[in-house]
Structure 1
């Protein structure tokens, strides 16, 4: 399955909740699928999407969705420990795993040497699931949005096909922050 299909589903299913998209092609493709005020695009901060997600999850009582990539999560895996240790019951951490640093030229990651599901479970995530079918993912995300007994990690195996994510994000960092902050405050 393609990243675009999973991103489209995430955007549709989570449109009432804050979503933090990791840097690179993931945030660019999300922006080009459908830009919205509930989207926080991590422009230029690889490995930090889950840090923002954990901080937000500690401060609101609604689901917080983090859309990470395998390369980005491997850049800063300590965020898994932070999410598991702190009270982030409302954190839904989605890892789109294509086994490559797609945004920087498609170099392979070391994700094949790691099982994100097993790692998350072993450090204290309430649930960790690996999926590769869209219908499986959609059933899980719908349930997790109602459950809020996480943190939960959903590792999504996506294809490594070379697709263009669309144009760059045409919002300034300040615009992204202000719009997202207003969305969160008014939820």
Structure 2
């Protein structure tokens, strides 16, 4: 298992030229605290909708779109995978941090241990789904996915829960500002 903050650092490092949608909860809080950037869209609520937002952006782009989900939000909206596949959105890299819990709402268990999320994604039509348990493998899969034309791709990363000192402050910029700067980034980078 890896520390999700280490995984987020790798995403931010390698995906700074792509739109990145971070799911709600500790994922967006951690990304914001690690390195806030204009290409980041932070889901402040609407659990399960990061993949739907990513699909909408990918429809308008020839470039990669990165979706960063948690296992709870991924399981909340599995139909988005079918939409992504049926629309042939080969430019999506869908990363799921799986710690088997709804960590930011109290640590309740998710059902991720009862389902093979990679098999679900493949059956939904994803071109590739891989599970990683180390930071080295995670980084390798990010690089491969960004270089490949075959997608959509799921990278399922097994993570451990955060220590209290790893959570960081809440996103303290308004949803309107998040939208405006992300939209500006997308207009410059995404279409074409």
TM-score (norm 2): 0.95
Counterparts of 1:83 and 1:97, CA distance in 2: 20
Counterparts of 1:35 and 1:148, CA distance in 2: 28
Q: Which runs of 5+ in 1 are unaligned?
A: none
Q: How does 1:38-187 map to 2 (within 5 A)?
A: 38-163=39-164, 164-187=166-189
Question: How big is each residue's C-alpha offset from its partner over 1:63-82, in whole Å with a ceiling of 9 and x where there is no partner?
Answer: 00000000001111111111
SS in 2 for 1:158: strand
Structure 1 residue 161, shift from structure 2 partner: 4.1
Q: Given the alignment of the two structures, is residue 6 of structure 1 paired with residue 7 of structure 2, yes or no?
A: yes
SS in 1 for 2:21: strand
SS in 2 for 1:94: strand
SS in 2 for 1:87: coil
CA contact (8 A) 1:63 1:148 kept: no
Counterparts of 1:87 and 1:174, CA distance in 2: 30
Root mean square deviation, CA, Å = 0.9
Question: How big is each residue's C-alpha offset from its partner over 1:27-71, in whole Å with a ceiling of 9 and x where there is no partner?
Answer: 000000000000000001100000000111111010000000000
CA contact (8 A) 1:94 1:155 kept: yes
Q: Provide runs of 4+ in structure 1 moved above 3 Å.
A: 161-164
Question: How big is each residue's C-alpha offset from its partner over 1:80-128, in whole Å with a ceiling of 9 and x where there is no partner?
Answer: 1111111211000000000000000101101101111111111210000
